[in-house]
């Protein structure tokens, strides 16, 4: 068994606004802006390169966002995928893959090497029943179910060569991989990457580095775990919080890691969600843009 190297990075807090459930940090290489969401605010945010912060209030819970080739921002709300004008904040419904299903909402999402938006759902039933899904949304607004029977779809990321898709289920405590066809968007060859525990962190949002390692946030452990292609946690970056939710590689060299967190309301430990940043030694895989 490979031992895990525990690292306490030199972190800095990059925002002063408290978040309830910070998620979906996304680096815009065209502008130097960092985008992110607060699921329960609900709102999208744009942290500009000059340090100013703009807030875009949403009419429903927002699970994630993605950059588009057109410079619009795709925002995934409980009411569907909308296109948002980054200057005015105006929303236009693009499609509604989840169709308003009861006890379900759009959650983690990323654009794949196929130029399509992949977005999963969270099962909001108590207890959860397994109604979670992963959808693929094409640039013409069509969509299809790619995975069913999930509880909390999360952890989407793709290898640098675009041939492997990573995905997690936060509630079922596992991460998995698929062979990915960037031409057709087909996934096959499902494999368990590894199971997780609350002690190492419930598997949440994720990103990939250029060396083929999967960086996945650990809710409850306050860690970002760097996982090898064979499923070993080789490094764990310990943050000054309880619940990291998603990492994102950023900066001109993609060697700055931004990590969103959520609030901790444990008795006597009131801790708002925020965004931490620190430098790493390996560059990340650039995020794709939705081909609209």
Instruction: Please tell me the distance from the alpha carbon of residue 192 to that of residue 164, in angstroms, as a whole number.
Output: 13
Q: Which percentage of the chain shows pLDDT scores above 70?
A: 99
Instruction: Please tell me the distance from the alpha carbon of residue 286 to that of residue 263, in angstroms, as a whole number.
Output: 28
pLDDT, position 12: 97
pLDDT digits (tens, 9 = 90+) for 118-155: 999 999 999 999 999 999 999 999 999 999 999 999 99
Instruction: Please tell me the distance from the alpha carbon of residue 81 to that of residue 94, in angstroms, as a whole number.
Output: 6
**Which residue, among 187, 159, 155, has the nearest Cα to 171 in the 3D structure?**
155
Q: Which percentage of the chain shows pLDDT scores above 90?
A: 96
Instruction: Please tell me the distance from the alpha carbon of residue 167 to that of residue 19, in angstroms, as a whole number.
Output: 25
pLDDT, position 5: 96
pLDDT, position 271: 86
Q: Is residue 265's pLDDT more than 90?
A: no
Q: Is residue 213's pLDDT more than 90?
A: yes
pLDDT, position 1: 66
Q: In what order do the strands lie in the sheet with 153-158?
A: 153-158, 164-169, 174-180, 187-195
Q: For residues 278-284, give the mean pLDDT.
A: 98
* Architecture of the domain spanning 5-279: 6 Propeller (2.120)
Instruction: Please tell me the distance from the alpha carbon of residue 148 to that of residue 120, in angstroms, as a whole number.
Output: 10
Instruction: Please tell me the distance from the alpha carbon of residue 98 to that of residue 169, in angstroms, as a whole number.
Output: 18
Instruction: Please tell me the distance from the alpha carbon of residue 244 to that of residue 87, in angstroms, as a whole number.
Output: 29
pLDDT, position 159: 98
pLDDT category at 266 given cuts 50, 70, 90 is confident
Q: Quick check: 145 and 153 in contact, CB under 8 A?
A: no
Q: Quick check: 282 and 209 in contact, CB under 8 A?
A: yes
What the block records as the tokens of 199 is 């002690």
**Which residue, among 84, 81, 224, has the nearest Cα to 139 in the 3D structure?**
81
- DSSP summary character for residue 68: B
Q: Is the preceding peptide bond at 127 cis, omega within 30 degrees of 0?
A: yes
Q: What mean pLDDT is reported for the chain?
A: 96
CA distances from 283 to 51, 76, 210, 242 (A): 23, 27, 6, 26
What are the boundaries of each domain within the chain? Answer: 5-279
First vs last C-alpha separation in the chain: 45
What residues are annotated to the active site?
Answer: 204
Q: Quick check: 176 and 193 in contact, CB under 8 A?
A: yes
């Amino acid at each position: 068994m490979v031992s895990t190297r525990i690292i306490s990075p030199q972190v800095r807090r990059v925002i002063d606004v408290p978040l309830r459930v910070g998620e979906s940090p996304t680096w815009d290489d065209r502008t130097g802006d960092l985008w992110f969401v607060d699921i329960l605010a609900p709102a999208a945010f744009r942290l500009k390169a000059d340090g100013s912060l703009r807030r875009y209030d949403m009419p429903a819970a927002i699970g994630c966002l993605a950059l588009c080739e057109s410079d619009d921002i795709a925002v995934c709300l409980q009411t569907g995928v909308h296109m948002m004008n980054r200057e005015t904040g105006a929303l236009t419904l693009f499609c509604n893959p989840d169709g308003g299903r009861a006890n379900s909402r759009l959650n983690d999402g990323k654009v794949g090497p196929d130029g399509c938006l992949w977005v999963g759902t969270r099962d909001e039933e108590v207890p959860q029943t397994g109604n979670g899904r992963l959808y693929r949304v094409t640039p013409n607004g069509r969509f299809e179910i790619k995975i069913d029977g999930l509880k909390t779809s999360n952890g989407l990321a793709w290898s640098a060569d675009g041939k492997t898709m990573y995905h997690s289920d936060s509630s079922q405590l596992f991460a998995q991989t698929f062979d990915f066809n960037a031409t057709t968007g087909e996934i096959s060859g499902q494999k368990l990457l590894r199971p997780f525990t609350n002690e190492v962190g419930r598997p949440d949002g994720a990103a990939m580095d250029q060396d083929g390692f999967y960086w996945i946030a650990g809710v409850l452990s306050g860690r970002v775990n760097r996982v090898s292609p064979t499923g070993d946690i080789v490094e764990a970056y310990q943050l000054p919080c309880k619940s990291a939710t998603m990492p994102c590689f950023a900066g001109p060299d993609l060697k700055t890691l931004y990590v969103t967190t959520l609030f901790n309301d444990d008795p006597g430990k009131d801790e708002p969600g925020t965004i931490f940043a620190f430098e790493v030694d390996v560059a990340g895989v650039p995020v794709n843009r939705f081909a609209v």
